[in-house]
Amino acid sequence: MDISSGGGGRVPIRETLASALRKERRSKPHSKSSSSGSSSSTVPLIMGFLSCLAWLYVAGRLWQDSQNRILLTSLLEKNLNNVPKVLTTDEKLRSLGCNDIGRRIVEAEMDLTLAKSQGYLRGNASASSGKKLLAVIGVYTGFGSHLKRNVFRGSWMPTGDALKKLEERGVIIRFVIGRSANRGDSLDRNIDEENRRTKDFLILESHEEAAEEIPRKAKFFFSAAVEIWDAEFYVKVDDNINLQIDALIEILESRRGSQGLYMGCMKSGSVITEEGKQWYEPEWWKFGDSKTYFRHASGSLFILSNNLARYININSASLATFAHDDTTVGSWMMGVDATHVDDDRLCCGSSRQEKVCSGA
């Protein structure tokens, strides 16, 4: 097939298509090379830009960290000057004035102990005369023992003028009793009324009168007696015995001026470990494998010299008690330099004729 040209000639169609294809082939390689060249020149620019950004970021962070370190360093330097000094215990006590207070307390305690040893006691009538009483005899009694007290007053215990004359001889006798668990009830009022008539009671205001409190009663009795009367001896007596006053005075007069004496009818025996039995001791395990009591004076009557009674008064808050008052006081005497005096004249159940007590 022929196509006519503008010059009036005819050009074959086959020849025209062939020439067009050749031109197209020649143009394609050129376009590929140009696009490849432009792409290869763009990548380094992008990478360089990203590197710059990364460098700027790292540099900024380093600068910021350095500024933070500078700020923290300056704050630390300022605060170092304001840090409080670490004080020792002595410096703290000194700053609070505790050292001086502690020293004064120690001095006051020493002065108090010295004053007590010299007889400067509250309510002590004998201290002014400079002569000690011979003995203070405390007869344990209870709220239900009114009839017993009347029997004693009618037998061995003097009353009225006879009681005053005995006190002039240096012997004080008082019924010893505590207060009711219900303070101010009829039991307390009856004792107060009886005391107003007879004036022969030592009422232990801080002690609760009860059977289970008997061991603690010794603390309150000896402490109160020492603070009220300055005597050579302090005697504890149960209300189930009769006492020979003159015979007891004779024994005490022979020992006047002695210190550290713990006198009585000394005994020991097995500790009762079975609950429910008479004389049961809840603290039995403290007496060792042998379960035997140490030597101690019978609770019916025992005597302490002045310094031992003062020892109980000063240390009463820390003295332990057991189930019975005789072993309780005996345990206190085990811890001090006491001389145990076993005198069978003080054994109320003894057959000896010269004994000073007997069962009531």
Under CATH, what is the fold of the domain 121-359? Spore Coat Polysaccharide Biosynthesis Protein SpsA; Chain A (3.90.550)
Domain definitions of the chain by residue range: 91-120, 121-359
- Residue-averaged pLDDT of the chain: 81
Dump pLDDT digits (tens) for 166-205. Answer: 999 999 999 999 999 999 899 999 999 999 999 999 999 9
Q: Which residues contact 320 (CB under 8 A, 6 or more apart)?
A: 328, 331
Beta strands in the chain (DSSP E): 2-4, 10-12, 133-140, 171-179, 201-208, 231-237, 241-243, 261-267, 296-305, 339-342, 357-359
321 DSSP assignment: -
Stretches in the chain below the pLDDT threshold 70 = 1-40, 80-100, 102, 111, 113-130
Dump pLDDT digits (tens) for 87-127. Answer: 666 666 666 666 667 677 877 777 676 655 554 444 444 44
Rounded Cα distance, 343 and 341, in Å: 6
pLDDT at 252: 95
Rounded Cα distance, 54 and 36, in Å: 28
pLDDT at 233: 97
What's this model's pTM, rounded to 2 decimal places?
A: 0.64
280 DSSP assignment: B
pLDDT at 146: 92
